[in-house]
Structure 1
Amino acid sequence: MESILYRTITEQDYPQISEMLCGIWQFDKYLNDESTVRRAGLAFWYAYLARQNYAEAAERDGRILGILLGHCGSLPFPAEHKGFEKEARRFLREFSRSGEGRKFYKAQTRTAKYERQLLAPYEGSFDAELVLFATAPEARGLGVGKTLLSRFNAFLKKQEARHAFLLTDSFCNFGFYDHLGYERLAEVEGLLGIEADGKPLHFYLYGYEV
């Protein structure tokens, strides 16, 4: 078995990463059609790519074990930035053609509303963002998550960034950030309209000193 390789994400990784994210986010609980699930994964993946200027993956034996997208405010977006936005819109149009796709998309727009609500009081307070962070189930116990975060923070320090933030919710393993000592700055409660149990989610804003 090969050791874990930490490297820049390439275009060849996109299908595998999108599939991994669909599984982690359990898109198949809300979307019944396999092609709709695939398009949803690609739409959201490209939307996240359009927000980053740092993209790294952890790989072993050809399998992606984790990914981290980040943004440092002192650096420009990559040359592919406009292309990422265009692809996100294209897959979003395809994904939203079905009724369940439109319902799921509306739920994501509500998520964006809650995130804007969390960030509004802190406008101008941050110069970096942890845009997207995910690890595959088989990566548990391997230290992949901590290593990806450590490498990103080392990158931010090199760029002299000081204050970073991340947004997450109670569907995710937010306790991981508590364990690492990140400061929970704010939270809101909200309904997305797709909850099977009718219970609201909690949305969190975390901040930390680089």
Structure 2
Amino acid sequence: MGAIRDHIHHAKASSRNHTDGAHTENRSRSSIQRSPQAVVPLQTTRSHAKPAVSAALMPKTSSDAATAGSSVVMYRPLTATDLPAIIDEYDQTWGFRPLSERRPLSQMVSKRFVMHYLEGTTRAEVAELDGQVLGLTFAQVDGERPLYPHAQETLAGIDDRLRADDTGSIALRETLYWHRAENRLERISQIGKVTQAELRLFLVSPKARGHGVGGDLWRRLMAYFQDRGVKRYFLHTDNSCDVGFYDHQGLVCNAKRIAADHPEDHVEKMYGRMNDLYIYSGEPSRTVRHRRRAGASVAQQQSKRGE
């Protein structure tokens, strides 16, 4: 999903070069949960290195304090200690609502979602203010090493726990069904053949409102893609998110799957009707130009109105 809901931006994407079956089962989309299962520390890769170019990728300094109040929003690589807060934020936003009265189980489903998006991720950036995570982006660039090579092992452990619970097993089946639908849409559109990167998760907390976190994370990711030579990237999203955000950024919708056309989706009834699914793609450089043109157009209109 790619989303903006009440200032929460989220791009949910399935793994590149995946297949249905056993591997798909370890790559499903679920709600997030906080599980007692330990998380192996993330490995540092070249994705965390500061590029020689693209100053937009550098952490903000005290000169930005005016826009962030008395504190400074810092942008840094993801660490394993960030995951509990990220899982909790995800659970509050996109958590498995039928499990709202069973928070530990809901958090486990949400943890599965987060780990699914982390699987294959080669760059993960966090926005932090006063020690609190306010937003993040997970992205995958072709040819780069994943940050978390043990993701499938962690996902398998989560799946075992979900299968041990009657309600959890239903949530897992629906999650896997959803991911298979996303995978089919990706294969039909052949989006992987014309892109070099994927935005896997884009989330901004409502607590970040007024700090420009969403816009900064987006611009920094586009600068990173350009620095890595990415000509085109893609993402998955659905109608639980404000897909208009991606239209505003100059992306195009390459494929869609409308739930009303697929009555066979209503298998388990726990999630309810499956969402409409979309694949969007864009060019990092064109996104920047599109925003500049849009800003110039608004300025011209305001000038004509005498504003």
- TM score, norm. by length of structure 2: 0.63
Counterpart residue number, 1:105? 172
The residue identity in structure 2 corresponding to 1:204 is Y
Residue 253 (structure 2) pairs with residue 184 (structure 1): yes
Structure 2: which 5+ residue stretches go unaligned?
1-69, 260-264, 285-307
Q: Report the counterpart of residue 7 of structure 1 in structure 2.
A: 76
8 Å Cα contact 1:59-1:65 kept in structure 2: yes
Q: Distance in 2 between matches of 1:42 and 1:51?
A: 16
Choose between structure 1 and 2: higher strand proportion: 1
Rounded to whole Å, the distance in 1 between the matches of 2:161 and 2:92 is 20
User: 2:127–2:217: 8 Å Cα contact kept in structure 1?
Assistant: yes
Alignment of 1:174 onto 2:243:
yes
CA contact (8 A) 2:232 2:283 kept: yes
- Matched residue pairs, number? 206
Verify: 1:89 aligned to 2:163, yes or no: no
Which residue is equivalent to 1:202? Answer: 276
User: Does the C-alpha gap of structure 1 residues 140 and 185 become closer, same or farther in structure 2, counting only changes over 3 Å?
Assistant: farther
CA gap 1:181/1:194 in 2 versus in 1, 3 angstroms: farther
SS at match of 1:201: coil
Does the Cα contact within 8 Å between 1:43 and 1:89 map onto a contact in 2? no
| Matched AA of 1:92 | D
Read off the aligned partner of 2:212 and give its amino acid letter.
Answer: G
More RCO (CA 8 Å, sep 6+): 2
1:44-63 matched pairs, under 5 angstroms: 44-63=113-132
Deviation at 1:200, TM superposition (A): 4.3
Deviation at 1:151, TM superposition (A): 1.0
Q: In the TM superposition, what are the counterparts of 1:2-151 in structure 2 within 5 Å?
A: 2-27=71-96, 29-31=97-99, 32-78=101-147, 80-81=148-149, 83-120=150-187, 121-122=189-190, 123-151=192-220
* C-alpha separation in 1, matches of 2:128 and 2:237: 24
Partner amino acid, structure 1, of 2:247: D
| C-alpha RMSD of matched pairs (Å) | 1.8
Contact kept, 8 Å, 1:44 with 1:88, in 2: the verdict is no
Distance in 2 between residues matched to 1:102 and 1:152, nearest whole Å: 36
Aligned-pair CA distance for 1:173? 2.2
Task: State TM-score, norm by structure 1.
Answer: 0.90
TM alignment of 1:142-161, pairs within 5 A: 142-161=211-230
